Amino acid sequence: MTPPSRRAYALEQKARGRKVAAVFPARYPAELLWARDVCPVEVWDPPAGTQAAQAHLQANVCSVVHRALSLWLSGGTGAADFLLFSHACDSLQNLSTLVPDLLGEGRPCLFFYPPKGRRDDLAEGYLERQLEALSERLDEAAGRPREGALERAVAWGEARTRALNDLYDARAGGRLAASNGEFYAAVRACEYLWPEEAVLRLDAFRTERSGPSASGIPLVFSGVLPQPAGLLPRLDDLGVRIAEDDFIACGRRFVRGSLPHSGEPLPTVARRFLALPPCSTAGSPVPDRLDFLTRLAGRSSARGVVFLALKFCEPELFDVPTLAEGLRSRGIPCLVLEVEMGGDVPAQTLTRLEAFLESLP
Amino acid sequence: MDLYAGVDVGSLTAKAVILGEDGAWAGESLVRTSPDFAESARRALGEALSAAGFPGAEPRVTVGTGYGRASVPGATRSVTEITCHARGAAALVEGAALVVDVGGQDSKAIRVGPGGRVEDFAMNDKCAAGTGRFLSAMAETLHTGIEGLGPAGLRSRREVVLSSTCTVFAESEVISLLAKGEPADDVAHAVHLAMARRLAGLVRLVGAHAPAVFTGGGALNADLVRCLESVLGLRFTLPEKPQLAGALGAALIARESALR
Amino acid sequence: MSALARLRYRLVKDALLPAALALKRGGKKSRPPDPLFGPPLKSTSDLRRIMARHYALASHAKGAMPVAWVTSGAPVELLRAFGFYTVYPENHSALCGARKLGPEISAEAEARGYSQDLCSYARVDLGHAFSGKTPVGSLPAPDLLFCANNICQTVLYWFKALSREYGIPLVLLDTPYLHGGRDEASAFAYVEDQLRRAVTDLERFARKDFDEARFLQVLESSRRAARLWGGVLETLRRRPAPMTIFDAFVHLMPIVSLRGLPVCERYYEGLLAELRDRAERGVAAVPGERHRLLWDNIAIWFALGPLARLFAEHGAVPVVATYTHAWAETAHQMDLQNPFAALARTYGGIFLNRDLAHRRAFLEALSREYAVDGAVLHSARSCKPYSIGQYDLKQSLRETPGIPSVVLEADMTDHRVWSEAQARTRLEAFFEALEGRGIGGSSDQGSA
């Protein structure tokens, strides 16, 4: 049961009377949108090429931003009623102002600034105020939520988190018979499916594919997202099984384990947001990321960690040297692969990967 | 007699090494790569078998390596050139701990453990900076020919600075140096120094350890080797046929896999 | 902190250095006059002495007082109130760039796996941290790091790396990016809360109570310095301009590194007096001034001299820059009645922390105030927040206020990505187009 395309899905949602928001990376409180009957459709690696954006962006800007702008320029976000930009890095920050302020986007553009590098009471307080401010903007763009809608949305968020945890547990435990490509097709549908549907599909996928995983070399992958697209089938060919991941778009998007609660819905959203796995875009301390990766490797019996370092992605590229060094000193082999988005995997990248596999003890 | 073959299909040349039953070196070849990788591999293997005195023979095991490793006809398996260069270099130089390989398409620094095992490695970026291709482009701009670049650099009397190793930038820099009247020999040396700094960056990623071995076509450029030695403060051992290290490693792996 | 180290620091600062620097001044040979440029600024020799003293003292500060490494957008006034010796890695990286050491030092960071695509200021600084390489003798290792992400997020990643390398605490001021004015109040309140929290952290770290009177003194000094610096820049409105922005890039160092200290104020008092005098007497920085230009983004440190020459050859004078204005833009408004709120507004509201609509208006205002004919937009490979959007700013500036501009792809410190020949061609074509405009060419020509 392949999920529909984002564009088709967005139109279908609109036909059902929902509003649609185009959401740019990385982290945002989806619950606030769901509560207002808005379906967020995330823009990570649209098949928009990078041509159109070249007149607006320097060549040394990452392909997430190039593709996002190309998509927007080519009318690919046309179905959206409004745009939501979350502050993830300098490049996405500038994209968020370029589009409305210099390129003339007329639809509402909403901004969300998650606190960086701090997790204290001040950060939590500011996050709550940001959620309130975003709620106000959403009220203007999509109307106020109906009675009990926010509580319902919070519950959907919890259900989706549980479904993702169950699926990741099954994979890490070797109890999921799915190719790398099938797994990520299922997980990445969360980037746009309405939460209730996402949960149904995730659970169905896990039940259908329940069974021993294909034998192969279990590895943890880290990075922004599983790109280039041709990598996943190549990994299947090479006998590599991604057993856990720390992709911003996947394994870092949900709270591992149980979710924090706080009587009121908005503070609950805030606390859950802060409980997300450590991330470069949030300015998380690297030791936290190191512990997280070590835990992922341990629970999935992985034999090593592969970093897909997306070319020009500053937040990730800054953390990788210390992470790699730290993992090696803990006896976990790792490989840093510089990657760009696209179809097939460059021969040189494959050579590195194969040489790494050959060198595993 | 059982023969074991390693075929290394690079972007510029294809190499083959044949080992006899006892693991002794029996023959080798080096041919230019044509756009048809499979054909190049077949030609290299055929010539090596002839050189070994077994024209038309069928090796018991053939291992393909290099850029075109998947296109070696009749290969039992393919192994990356990183693993193969480490194995080959360790066989050529006792206790080799570091291998720097400068090939046509890629440059790499490999830290080698006991028995020629790869402990860590680093490769150049996707661009041609610091590879044989970069040297070819520079040789063309300087009109020395690829073989003449090393001797030209060795003749240099004065140090000039080339800041870029980007093929495009460096080319315009080289042209403007020549336009300023800098002698071609000095510019050739500057090219090698710039490239050596780039290679040193790769080496530092894996750690500079002795004994160090320089393999690949780049090892034939004496000025480049000298520059890298001075940048790193490390002596390199040069195998007699540095370009064959990868093919030798592949042949050793071929023999090993048959005996296991 | 040891008493002996403190004593040695005072001795060096008050007795040895002044004597050594006086000797050095005596020995300085004067260069023959260059017909392209007006007479050199006399203040430059003071600047050299101040900066030499700053870096010379730095090596004696360790142990005598706590040493903090800070970002250029950090509220240094707070640290000064606690008696920290402050080091600006960005300034140090710029200096390494100017000495053309960028690639050599950053190679040390690249060898540790830091990609060549990362900010070159950060790579140079990390390379220095890993290897000790520096052209200034030695920098004191930090006891504390203080980082504000108002200029970019990069500093956060970079200072996290420093914090791990030295195993020391990092104090972070998280300054939310401002889209329009709507969320300003809540962002500034968050910044203000963090500043108050920082005081508690610093009290614990320095084992010293916060001295509010001292803090106010420092703030007052900082505000005066910002006003003086603003005055310095304003003299460039005069035609001909008494100095160029390339000079200002160099004379910027005290306001970046020494603001809040008396030496900084004294320096700018002298510079301002000299420039006012030059302006009154009609002394031109470039006698053949024909085109007045705006510069956007950080300086190209390694090419400052050749660029100044190339511009002067064509009568092109950069008279204003967003970069140099950054330190005059907000700090002069500080309200000392309410110091923490003032500091939050000043540091949270700098132009790099505001949207591109604000940047556009800022560019337009500067263009009018300084009567420029064109703009040079340095697209710095290292600096994404400053550079992304420039291609469209260029289009927008052409529409209003109708000025042509050229984009120069370069970097602050990494000259490996720089092609002098390419830059020369591009700039010369731009200057030729400006000439064309002067004699009635179309307004589009300049947009090389």
Residue C185's nearest CA partner among A28, A90, A126 is: A126
Q: Please give the backbone phi and psi of residue C86, each rounded to the nearest 5 degrees, phi first.
A: -110, 140
Query: Burial of B236 by CB count in 10 Å (0-12 exposed, 13-18 middle, 19+ buried)?
Result: buried
Q: How confident is the model at residue B167 (pLDDT cuts 50, 70, 90)?
A: low
Alpha carbons A315 and A139: distance in angstroms, whole number = 32
| Interval A127-147: pLDDT, tens | 999 999 999 999 999 999 999
SS3 (DSSP) at A178:
coil
C103–chain B Cβ distance below 8 A for any pair: yes
The most distant pair of C-alpha atoms in chain C lies apart, rounded to whole Å, by: 70
Q: Give the residue ranges of chain C where pLDDT is below 70.
A: 1, 21-31, 436-448
Tokens of B239: 């195998």
A207–chain B Cβ distance below 8 A for any pair: no
SS3 (DSSP) at A152:
helix
Per-residue model confidence (pLDDT) at position C27: 47
Chains that touch A (3 or more CB pairs under 8 A): B, C
Query: Do B172 and C113 lie within an 8 Å CB cutoff?
Result: no
Per-residue model confidence (pLDDT) at position C446: 37
C397–chain A Cβ distance below 8 A for any pair: no
Query: Do A352 and B81 lie within an 8 Å CB cutoff?
Result: no
What are the C-alpha distances in Å from C230 to residues C45, C331, C342?
A: 21, 10, 18
Minimal Cα–Cα distance from C167 to chain A, Å? 12
Residues C318, C295 contacting (CB under 8 angstroms): yes
Tokens of C411: 């970097």
Alpha carbons C4 and A86: distance in angstroms, whole number = 52
| Interval A179-208: pLDDT, tens | 999 999 999 999 999 999 999 999 999 999
Per-residue model confidence (pLDDT) at position A48: 79
Minimal Cα–Cα distance from C83 to chain A, Å? 26
| Interval C22-48: pLDDT, tens | 656 544 455 677 889 999 999 999 999
Q: Please give the backbone phi and psi of residue B55, each rounded to the nearest 5 degrees, phi first.
A: -60, 135
Per-residue model confidence (pLDDT) at position C29: 54
Q: Which residues of A touch C396 (CB under 8 A)?
A: 102
**Residue A321's closest chain B neighbor by CA?**
B205
pTM listed for this prediction:
0.89
pLDDT higher at B117 or A50: B117
Residue from C100, C419, C425 to probe the interface with B (highest B Cβ count within 10 Å): C419
Could you tell me which residues come within 8 angstroms of residue C139 by beta carbon, excluding any fewer than 6 positions away? C55, C58, C59, C87, C92, C128
What are the C-alpha distances in Å from C317 to residues A98, A217, B82, C365, C375?
A: 29, 63, 54, 18, 10
Query: Do B176 and C417 lie within an 8 Å CB cutoff?
Result: no
Whether A322 has a pLDDT exceeding 50, the answer reads yes
**Residue A111's closest chain C neighbor by CA?**
C179
Q: How far is CA C285 from the centre of its chain?
A: 21
Alpha carbons C186 and A129: distance in angstroms, whole number = 7
Across B224-233, average pLDDT: 95
Q: Please give the backbone phi and psi of residue A83, each rounded to the nearest 5 degrees, phi first.
A: -115, 145
Alpha carbons B13 and B196: distance in angstroms, whole number = 22
Per-residue model confidence (pLDDT) at position C448: 35
Minimal Cα–Cα distance from C418 to chain B, Å? 8
Residues C54, C92 contacting (CB under 8 angstroms): no
Q: How far is CA B242 from the centre of its chain?
A: 7
Alpha carbons B247 and C140: distance in angstroms, whole number = 52
Query: Burial of A187 by CB count in 10 Å (0-12 exposed, 13-18 middle, 19+ buried)?
Result: buried
The most distant pair of C-alpha atoms in chain A lies apart, rounded to whole Å, by: 59
Element (H or E) spanning B30, and its range? Answer: strand B25-32
Looking at chain A, the whole-number percentage of residues with pLDDT higher than 90 is 91
Residues A35, C371 contacting (CB under 8 angstroms): no
pLDDT higher at B126 or B96: B96
Per-residue model confidence (pLDDT) at position C436: 67
Residues C218, C80 contacting (CB under 8 angstroms): yes
SS3 (DSSP) at C248:
helix
Element (H or E) spanning B61, and its range? Answer: strand B61-65
Could you tell me which residues come within 8 angstroms of residue C404 by beta carbon, excluding any fewer than 6 positions away? C374, C375, C398, C430, C433, C434, C437, C443, C444, C445, C446, C447, C448
C residues 117-176 lying closer than 8 A (beta carbon) to A:
117-119, 122, 149, 152-154, 156-158, 160-161, 164, 172, 174, 176
Whether B218 has a pLDDT exceeding 50, the answer reads yes
Minimal Cα–Cα distance from C116 to chain B, Å? 10
Element (H or E) spanning C125, and its range? Answer: helix C120-131
Give the full edge-to-edge strand order of the sheet including B98-102: B118-123, B107-112, B98-102, B212-215, B236-237
Q: How many CB atoms lie within 10 A of CB B94?
A: 8
Of A348, A354, A358, the CB nearest to B126: A348
Q: How confident is the model at residue A12 (pLDDT cuts 50, 70, 90)?
A: very high
Per-residue model confidence (pLDDT) at position B104: 84
Q: Is the N-terminal amide bond of B239 cis, ω within 30° of 0? A: no
Query: Do A351 and B79 lie within an 8 Å CB cutoff?
Result: no
**Residue A340's closest chain B neighbor by CA?**
B126
Alpha carbons C321 and C337: distance in angstroms, whole number = 31
C200–chain A Cβ distance below 8 A for any pair: no
Of C113, C149, C356, the CB nearest to A321: C113
What are the C-alpha distances in Å from C84 to residues A262, C5, C202?
A: 41, 14, 10
Per-residue model confidence (pLDDT) at position C343: 94
Query: Do A314 and C118 lie within an 8 Å CB cutoff?
Result: yes
Enter the ipTM. 0.96
